[in-house]
């Protein structure tokens, strides 16, 4: 689908994008050489090929066609990120791209554990992103508030350690943090890792004054149970503030009702699901969520690992395949603004 002038010029807000999922083969190639990191690919073309990943996080579900799973490719990509400048360049490249797509405000996810477990100090990662947050707002006019992710397939204790290390870079309620991130999320492989395992971490971040979101990815094992926990049980029953993906709410009326009554919005990434679901199956589901009155917005997830479909391409798809009108498209942006954790002055400027 070609991006229409209407979608291109629509002011946009992105709430679900993993910064490490914006690493292009070109930047990866450059950083690998700069940092003397050997790539397991003989040529640049082979590197580009390695971005053709399978959808499910588990190899046995994908069948053995030799392609890496998404997470294998994503964490392999991370290996070239070593210095503060690397993280800065990655983030600035994304924020510049955001400006080009008329994205006015973003809340990117970042993983520190993906880097500290390779021996990169947390402060290297955090200082790189912090500098990009400031320069991206100044140079490209794209303000951002970032989201620290717990890797759910790592032990809770590792997540807590990573969180404590990152906390000086947060915007905590005492106002003393550096202001990079203002929320925590839950990402990586969800298989047998329900959100409740991270209750202690969520309670801690809530006490620190941070917002909370978590991935409930589409058609994962126990998807509906994980969603039920996220909506009703997490944080001593107060629930999560947002859910990333969450399309499986359609499986159960109690989930739809819970989302609505608690005002929990979904950050949907249609192209990510479209890789696996036929057009005539997927888009009627998104349309049904809309007709049920569930609040959601449209995002891109990991665009360079998902055929380079960015937020504009994702919005194009729902515009086309859900029969959303121009007015509906503007409402989707308004949803994103309302679901966002931007300061009021930024929200006013976008709408």
Q: Binding residues for ligand ADE, per CB under 6 A?
A: 18, 21, 74, 187-188, 215, 217, 301-302
- How far is residue 295's CA from residue 340's CA, in Å, rounded to a whole number? 12
Contact 12, 333 (CB under 8 A): yes
Helices 122-140, 156-166: crossing angle, 10 deg rounding = 50
**Closest approach of Cβ 325 to ligand ADE, in Å?**
29
Residue among 217 and 229 whose Cβ is closer to ligand ADE: 217
Minimum separation from the CB atom of position 118 to ligand ADE (A):
16
In whole angstroms, the minimum distance from the beta carbon of 323 to ligand ADE comes to 27
With binding defined as CB under 5 A, does residue 20 bind Zn ion? no
Q: Which is closer to ligand ADE, CB of 185 or CB of 258?
A: 185
**Nearest 10 degrees: CA dihedral of 308, 184, 292, 310?**
-10
Q: 280, exposed or middle or buried, with CB in 10 Å at 0-12, 13-18, 19+? A: exposed
In terms of CB distance, is 107 or 301 closer to Zn ion?
301
- Spatial separation of the C-alpha atoms in residues 89 and 142, rounded to whole Å: 15
Q: Helix crossing, 199-207 with 156-166: angle to 10°?
A: 20
The residue number with the shortest CB distance to Zn ion is 301
Output 177 or 270, the one with its CB closest to ligand ADE. Answer: 270
CB of 262 to Zn ion, least distance (A): 21
Q: How many helices (H) and strands (E) in the chain?
A: 17, 8
Q: In 226-344, which ranges are E strands? A: 242-245, 265-268, 296-298
Of 51 and 324, which has the nearer Cβ to ligand ADE?
51
Q: Which is nearer to ligand ADE, 302 or 312 (CB)?
A: 302
Given the rule CB under 5 A, which of 93-101, 283-291, 301-309, 326-334 is the region that contacts Zn ion? 301-309
Q: Largest alpha-carbon pair distance within the chain?
A: 54
Of ligand ADE, Zn ion, none, which one sits near residue 296, judging by CB under 5 to 8 A according to partner kind?
A: none
**CA-to-CA separations, 287 to 195, 262, 294, in angstroms, rounded:** 27, 21, 10
Which of Zn ion, ligand ADE, none interacts with 74 (beta carbon under 5 to 8 A by kind)?
A: ligand ADE
Tell me which stretch binds Zn ion (CB under 5 A): 33-41, 93-101, 116-124, 299-307: 299-307
Question: Quick one: 78 or 120, whose CB is closer to ligand ADE?
Answer: 78
Token couple for 284: 């009627």
Helix (H, G, I), strand (E, B) or coil at 4: coil
Taking the least distance from each CB to ligand ADE, the nearer of 80 and 337 is 80
**Interface with Zn ion (CB under 5 A), residue from 122, 301, 332, 350:** 301
Residues in contact with Zn ion, shown as a per-residue x/- string from 175 to 204 under the rule CB under 5 A: ------------------------------
Q: Which residue has the tokens 């083969």?
A: 25
* Distance in angstroms (rounded) separating the CA atoms of residues 131 and 189: 29
**CB 34 → ligand ADE: shortest distance, Å?**
24
Output the smallest distance, CB 217 to ligand ADE, in A: 6
Residue 317: C-alpha distances to residues 7, 10, 88, 280, 304 (Å): 10, 14, 31, 12, 17
- Segment near Zn ion (CB under 5 A), from 52-60, 94-102, 295-303, 343-351? 295-303
């Amino acid at each position: 689908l070609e991006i229409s002038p209407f979608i291109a010029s629509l002011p946009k807000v992105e709430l679900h994008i993993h910064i490490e999922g914006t690493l292009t083969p070109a930047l990866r190639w450059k950083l690998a050489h700069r940092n003397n990191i050997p790539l397991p690919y003989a040529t640049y073309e082979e590197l580009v090929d390695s971005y053709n990943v399978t959808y499910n996080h588990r190899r046995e579900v994908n069948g053995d066609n030799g392609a890496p799973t998404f997470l294998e490719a994503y964490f392999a990509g991370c290996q070239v990120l070593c210095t503060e400048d690397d993280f800065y360049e990655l983030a600035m490249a994304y924020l510049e791209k955001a400006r080009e797509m008329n994205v006015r405000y973003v809340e990117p996810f970042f993983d520190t554990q993906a880097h500290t477990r390779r021996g990169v100090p947390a402060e290297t990662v955090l200082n790189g992103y912090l500098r990009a947050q400031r320069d991206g707002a100044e140079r490209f006019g794209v303000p951002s508030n970032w989201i620290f992710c717990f890797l759910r397939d790592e032990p809770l204790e590792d997540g807590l350690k990573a969180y404590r290390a990152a906390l000086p870079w947060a915007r905590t309620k005492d106002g003393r943090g550096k202001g990079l991130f203002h929320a925590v999320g839950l990402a990586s492989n969800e298989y047998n890792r329900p959100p409740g395992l991270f209750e202690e971490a969520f309670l801690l971040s809530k006490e620190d004054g941070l917002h909370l979101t978590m991935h409930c990815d589409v058609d994962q094992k126990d998807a509906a149970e994980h969603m039920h926990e996220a909506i009703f049980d997490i944080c001593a029953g107060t629930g999560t503030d947002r859910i990333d993906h969450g399309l499986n709410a359609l499986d159960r009326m109690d989930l739809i009702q819970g989302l609505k009554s608690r005002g929990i919005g979904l950050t949907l990434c249609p192209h990510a699901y479209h890789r696996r679901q036929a057009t005539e199956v997927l888009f009627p589901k998104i349309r049904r969520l809309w007709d049920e009155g569930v609040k959601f917005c449209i995002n891109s997830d990991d665009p360079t690992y998902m055929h380079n479909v960015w937020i504009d391409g994702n919005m194009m798809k729902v515009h086309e395949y859900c029969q959303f009108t121009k007015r509906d498209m503007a409402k989707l942006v308004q949803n994103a603004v309302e679901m966002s954790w931007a300061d009021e002055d930024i929200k006013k400027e976008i709408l």
